[in-house]
Structure 1
Amino acid sequence: MTVETVLADLVGFPSVCRTPNGAIIEHVRAYLAGHGVDSVIVPGPEGDRANLFATIGPKVEGGIILSAHLDVVPAPPEGWVGDPFRLRRDGKRLIGRGAVDMKGFAACMLASVPALVAKKLARPVHIALSYDEEVGCVGVRHLIARLPELCPPVIGCIVGEPSGLRPVLAHKGKIAQRVTVDGKAGHSSRTDLGDNAIHYAAGLIAAIHEEALRHVRQGPFAEAFAPPYSTIQVGVIKGGTGINIVPAQCVFEVEARAIAGQEPAALLGFLPGVAERIAREAAATGHKVDFSFETMSDYPPLALDESDPLVAFTETASGQGRQAAVSYGTEAGLFQRAGIAAIVCGPGDVDRAHKPEEYITDAELAGAMAMIARVADRLC
């Protein structure tokens, strides 16, 4: 089975994040079983989603984990020439949702299975496939928690997010929070009798903006990233029902992206204190406002030391030199937090991800197949 055929099968499953993924997991399990490879299904607490882990070769120390996520972002029809969940060829491009992010690498992993099984591996190749990466690296946390029982210690984990097959040593971490501001509704002719939730939210948002500017001005700075500092921004805001109604509620979502060396959650640690101050000031004038905070997603930065053996291993396998850092996030930081060296290295360009007509090229898939073959050679 060619890598294109494997990719077509994977793209054909509309495994959109936050939806059940049993069909694609069963497809992969059956495919591996057909090549004599047993899988362990690692379910999540949602009850309708699961990860998959498999080992090819002896269950000894010193293997490599190849990691990919099987979920994709939604694919609204605008901008697509054809069905986003049916792989389509256009010259040397293979087009479909998830083609580059990141079913392309998953397809290379699976298409390599027959060759990996046939090799006399002295150390194993482990396959890790996760769910709901696109909404905060949700599923892989449950897989990582099971790794001590699933495999002996490894050299490290190669997360195949699109990097042009350049090994990436660092990426930013991220936290996203939903802030709900509750006031009191009223007629706009008597604003004195209401508690305007949008106004109170605006006070907190102004503080967020000022904190974001402080990072721009004062850092800390890490020149490998673009931009070279941690960022904070409000991306969504909703509130109010009519111009003549004092809004009782306002909800907004804020994210922070942290350079290596900073914890994402710490970047938003100032918010409760500011909210308490706003509430006290409101109470002093006879008004009332309540703030509540919900963490939507949170994953750590990645910072792999240049001297780690995984760096040279991956450079040799990919045939490309290392890249210091990228600003997007991956599951690699979670592997590293669990004590597993991790690096990002996969086919394609991340700039094509999450867009209509997402694609990967024949050459990029061939390059990833060759990389996996060289990984196996190093383990023989």
Structure 2
Amino acid sequence: MNTLEWLGTLTAIDTTSRLSNLGLIETVRDDLQRQGLQPWLSTNAEGTKANLFCTLPDQAGGTQGGIALSGHTDTVPVDGQPWTSDPFRLTEREGRLYARGACDMKGFIATAVAMVPEFLAMPRAKPMHLALSYDEEVACIGAPVMLSGLRERGIRVDGCVVGEPTSMKPVVAHKGLNAWRCRVHGKAAHSSLTPRGCNAVEHAARLICAIRDLAEAWRAEGPFDEAYDVPYSTITTNMIQGGIAMNTIADACEFTYEFRNLPVLSPAEVQARISAYIQGELLPRMRSEFPGASVELENLATAPGLDASEQAAVTQLVRALTADSSVRKVAYGTEAGLFQGAGIPTVVCGPGSIEQAHKPDEFVEADQLAQCERFLRQLAHSLA
């Protein structure tokens, strides 16, 4: 199948993160096996989701080194979004290809998989690898499992291109992502007897305001990096739930917050500041009202930022192939930081615009896929 046929096949498989991705992974696996390759899978504990890693050996049969092409197979939901066409049926209108995941990031995967026969026919002196992951959209859960498998199998990769939508322009840095759940426990009472209770909602609000103060300090004081589209670290509280009735002092409140840190800012330091406020200010106030009051913190997601070396061979190669020397850094996260943390120099570059990701009527332009084909063809030739 060509790129468009593969994109139609991949987008027809609903791989929303809450569902299994095995249908997609097995479709790709079977096609690679028919070409004489030996892909291997690494799964989650339940066996309902899988990563796929496949090496395309060099002309001498070598499997070590070379470049990996990486993409995540899961997508965000379409629930409640006003799509004008079926999100799981690829639709072309005026040079745009519409479907959930067309941009983020099945367009890159479709291009890479479609070009495997061409890659295999090239006289390459170094191997290429396909690395497809699960659950990137829910905290980059799958990639660490795959990277652990690489270590166990002794597979060495010289560099990686993560094909997130960047309009085929190299991205050399992005922020880290850290998500936390906070549970505040107070004491219930009738709202007419407030001294007998400890209002978890109100005390949670104090912590939320302290988190907002931290966000405002970063915005005003930095650290800054003007190469980013948002040039400072950010932190927000986006979900909250608490209380059972209007006339009952709330004994519990739960909220989530996330922060996206510049690579120069340590996530541990950020969390230490929040914990210090809880221990030093919030809990003493709560326990003056109710000695049994408590606050629980649970880490929901941690994905490291990316800060690619300009001296790395893969960075220089991608810059040369795209004829782009701009220093481009972004606020959104990818799996690139995980590959870099595993000792694999990594750059982000793929078809489509991040502005289309997660939206109704998500699309990738056909011209972007054609650019991606040219880029991957040149990349493979560079390994000759």
Q: What residue identity is the alignment partner of 1:290?
A: S
**Contact 2:72–2:105, Cα closer than 8 Å, also in 1:** yes
* 1:141 correspondence with 2:144: yes
- 1:196-215 equivalent positions in 2, closer than 5 A: 196-215=199-218
For residues 305-316 of structure 1, the aligned pairs below 5 Å read 305-316=309-320
CA displacement, residues 327-348 of structure 1 (integer Å, 9 cap, x when unaligned):
1110000111111101100011
Pick which of 327-336 and 280-289 moved more. Answer: 280-289
Q: How many angstroms does 1:149 deviate by?
A: 4.4
Match of 1:9 in 2: 9
**1:115 corresponds to which residue?**
118
Q: Deviations over 1:31-58 (max 9, x none)?
A: 1112222110111224311100001123
TM-score by length of 1: 0.96
Name the amino acid aligned to 1:18. Answer: R
Q: Any idea what SS the aligned residue of 1:161 has?
A: coil
**Within 5 Å, which residues of 2 pair with 1:26-65?**
26-58=26-58, 59-65=62-68
1:1-380 alignment runs, 5 A limit = 1-58=1-58, 59-150=62-153, 152-276=155-279, 277-286=281-290, 288-380=292-384
**TM-score by structure 2 length?**
0.95
- For the 8 Å contact 1:195–1:288, the answer to whether it is kept is no
Deviation at 1:316, TM superposition (A): 2.5
Report how far residue 184 of structure 1 moved: 1.8
Indicate the larger mover: 80-89 or 357-366: 80-89
Give the aligned residue type for 2:271. Answer: L
Q: Per-residue deviation at 1:60? A: 4.0
Aligned equivalents of 1:45 and 1:195: distance in 2? 40
Determine helix, strand or coil for the equivalent of 1:117: helix
User: What letter is aligned with 1:70?
Assistant: T
- Whichever residue aligns with residue 244 of structure 2, its letter is T
CA offset digits 1:44-103 (Å, max 9, x no partner): 224311100001123344300000000000012531012211111112111000000000
Q: Distance in 2 between matches of 1:351 and 1:279?
A: 42
**Deviation of the 1:152 alpha carbon:** 4.0
Indicate if the aligned counterparts of 1:263 and 1:300 stay in contact, CA closer than 8 A. Answer: no
Moved more, 273-282 or 328-337: 273-282
| Residue identity matched to 1:379 | L
Aligned-partner SS, 1:101:
helix
3-state secondary structure, aligned to 1:100 = helix
Report how far residue 288 of structure 1 moved: 4.0
- Aligned residue for 2:192, secondary structure, equals helix
Distance of aligned partners of 1:284 and 1:183 in 2 relative to their CA distance in 1, 3 Å threshold: closer
User: Structure 1: which 5+ residue stretches go unaligned?
Assistant: none
Query: In structure 2, how many angstroms separate the alpha carbons of the residues matched to 1:323 and 1:166?
Result: 10
Residues 225 and 259 of structure 1 are in contact (CA less than 8 Å); yes or no, is this contact kept in structure 2?
A: no
Distance 1:313 1:215 in 2: 35
| CA distance in 2 between partners of 1:130 and 1:286 (Å) | 47
Separation in structure 2 between the aligned mates of residue 174 and residue 342 of structure 1, nearest angstrom: 17
Q: Return closer, same or farther for 1:85/1:323 CA change in 2, 3 Å cut-off.
A: farther
The amino acid that maps onto 1:377 is: H
Q: CA RMSD in A?
A: 1.5
Q: Percent identity?
A: 39
- TM-fit CA distance, 1:286: 4.5
